[in-house]
A = this chain, B = another copy of it.
Amino acid sequence: MDKGDVTALMQGLGAAARAAAAELAFAPPEARRKALEAAADAVWARRAEIVAANALDMDYGRDKGLTAAMLDRLMLDEPRIQGIVAGLRAVAAQKDPVGEVITEWDMPTGLHIRRVRTPIGVVGVIYESRPNVTADAGALCLKSGNAVILRGGSESFHSSTAIHACMVDGLRAAGLPEAAIQLMPTRDRAAVAAMLRAVEFIDVIVPRGGKGLVGLVQAEARVPVFAHLEGICHIYLDRAADAEKARRVVLNAKTRRTGICGAAECLLIHRDLVGGLGAQVVADLVAAGVEVRAGEGLHHLPGVVAAQPDDFGREFLDRIIAAAVVDDVDGAIAHIRRYGSSHTEAILTEDDAAADRFFTRLDSAILMRNASTQFADGGEFGMGAEIGIATGKLHARGPVGAEQLTTFKYLVTGDGAVRS
């Protein structure tokens, strides 16, 4: 497509999304719920069509030389389609956030002021190979009353198109505007650049994918972005850690799933524990097949390898963890400030003062005590589903669910009140 075509395409999608958003803002919650249930029905009814579309993508992916891991992310079969259906029904069943009175108060002038939750407007979601994001992200945006423009990875184009058709079936069944959920109808990369600059049409962009995609979006976007670049999560073994809890939590934080953003990437050990619990925790990790890249003061531990300087502040997303000795909780805080990514950090301690210091002096989106960093997830926070995890300072931090995809307005009532 030439530049003019892309601009015209973005204008068309953008204007349609704005018009749909204006309608969605006052659509009854029941209509949005019904649209998601109907979309779930459609995905299941049209599963053969979706699998056939996915086969085209898998062929394309194989031709393109995608790795086995990438092909696995792309692949859809009946169990995975069941997962998509269940996800749609779960979001449909969630509490509706739109219209909630967040807070209200009276003023001596006679004004009654309410702060009321409203949709943001139009959300742009840019993702990579997983076609299920078409349903998940579309559902969360609709639940929160937003119109959405989806831009899936080029390798999942046919699968996403087939799933998107089912979402539109749902909208139609509920009498909602079809442009509430739009899919960018081209694989052209110029369309991504157009979305990132579309301040007139898109209120916030959510990138879903690896560091390459997120970094590009953060660098190029003129539209606000909800995202995290990396999840370099730290877990600190304080002097007052309970041995049994600590062993269990560290092992879970590193090994439950290594490829997610909430996986621990660095273990910090209080100096006094190096000869005892610290060594035990490292031994547990080594026994679990984790490569422990150990900093100074830990090289003598069996099975470890010496850390290189760039192993600190690194997101391995693998069975690898960096480990360092710190003098105390302040040393842990200093290390995390230097190397962290403001995502999630945990302290293992029975000492309330140390936990309080850790909670107060760090400003990661999520701080945990005696709990695994792997809990950094919208579902585990009770949000039902998440569109991603954000580490920016403004608006949405931590898991971004339907409620985080809303904003608010003030509704003020008087009885002829004038300002003196």
Q: Interface residues, chain A, CB within 8 Å of chain B?
A: 22, 25-26, 105, 107, 109, 111, 113, 118, 120-121, 203-204, 224, 242, 244-246, 248-249, 251-253, 256, 337, 355, 359-361, 363-372, 374-375, 377, 380-382, 393-398, 407-419
Give chain B nearest CB distance to A101 CB in angstroms. Answer: 12
B363 A25 Cβ-Cβ under 8 A: yes
* Complex interface: chain B residues within 8 A of A25 (CB): 360-361, 363
Contacts A109-B375, A393-B121, A409-B397; is A370 near B417 (CB within 8 Å)? yes
For A381, the chain B residues whose CB sits under 8 A away are: 107, 113, 410
Contact call A413/B204, Cβ cutoff below 8 A: no
Asked if A394 and B107 sit within 8 Å, CB to CB, the answer is no
CA distance A337 to B381 in the complex (A): 37
Q: Which of B109, B359, B360, B393 contacts A120 (CB 8 A)?
A: B393
In the complex, how many angstroms separate the beta carbon of A118 from the nearest chain B beta carbon?
A: 6
Contact A407/B397 with A26-B361, A361-B25 known, Cβ cut-off 8 Å: yes
Of the listed residues A248, A251, A395, the one surrounded by the most CB atoms of chain B closer than 10 A to its CB is A395
Checking B107, B246, B365, B377 against A409 with a beta-carbon cut-off of 8 angstroms, the contacting residue is B365
**Across-interface contacts of A398 in B (CB, < 8 A):** 409-410
- Name the residue of chain B whose CB is nearest to the CB of A337: B22
Q: Contacts A120-B394, A224-B224, A381-B113 given: A372-B407 contact, CB under 8 Å?
A: no
Can you report 11 A-B residue pairs in the complex whose CB atoms are below 8 A from each other? A121-B393, A245-B415, A253-B418, A355-B413, A366-B412, A367-B409, A368-B414, A369-B412, A371-B416, A371-B417, A375-B414
- CB nearest to A399 among chain B residues: B410
Measured between alpha carbons, how far is A118 from B360 in the docked complex, in Å?
A: 9
Name which residue of chain B comes closest to A244, CB basis: B416
Which residues of B sit under 8 angstroms from A397, Cβ to Cβ? 407-410
Chain B residues, CB < 8 A from A416 = 242, 244-246, 248-249, 370-371
Query: Are the C-beta atoms of A109 and B380 separated by less than 8 Å?
Result: yes
- The docked-state distance in angstroms from the alpha carbon of A244 to that of B415 is 11
Contact: B393 with A204, CB < 8 Å? Answer: yes
A406-B257 Cα distance, complex, nearest whole Å: 34
Task: Closest B residue to A242 by CB, please name it.
Answer: B416
Q: 10 tightest CB-CB pairs across the interface, nearest first?
A: A371-B414, A245-B416, A252-B418, A395-B395, A374-B419, A394-B395, A371-B417, A368-B412, A369-B413, A366-B410
| Min distance, Cβ A377 to any Cβ of chain B, angstroms | 8
Whether A203 contacts B394 by the Cβ 8 Å rule is yes
Using A363-B409, A410-B367 as known contacts, say yes or no to A380 and B415 having CB atoms under 8 A apart: no
Known contacts: A393-B121, A418-B252. The answer to whether A371 contacts B337 by CB under 8 A is no
Interface centre among A109, A415, A419 (most CB of B within 10 A): A419
For A396, what are the chain B residues with a Cβ–Cβ distance below 8 Å?
394
Q: Pick the residue among B256, B363, B419 that contacts A252 (CB under 8 A).
A: B419
CB-defined contacts of A407 to chain B, threshold 8 Å? 393-394, 397
User: Is the Cβ of A419 less than 8 Å from the Cβ of B366?
Assistant: no
CB distance from A231 to the nearest CB of B (A): 14
* A413 CB to nearest chain B CB (Å): 5
**Is the CB–CB distance between A370 and B413 below 8 Å?**
yes
A375 to chain B, nearest CB (A): 5
Taking the nearest CB of chain B, how far is it from the CB of A401, in angstroms? 13
User: By CB atoms of chain B within 10 A, which of A121, A246, A416 has the most?
Assistant: A416
Assess the B380–A249 pair: CB atoms within 8 A.
no
Q: When the two chains form the complex, which single residue of B394, B408, B414 contacts A224, counting CB atoms closer than 8 Å? A: B394
Whether A412 pairs with B367 at a CB distance below 8 angstroms is yes
Q: Are B366 and A417 in contact (CB under 8 A)?
A: no
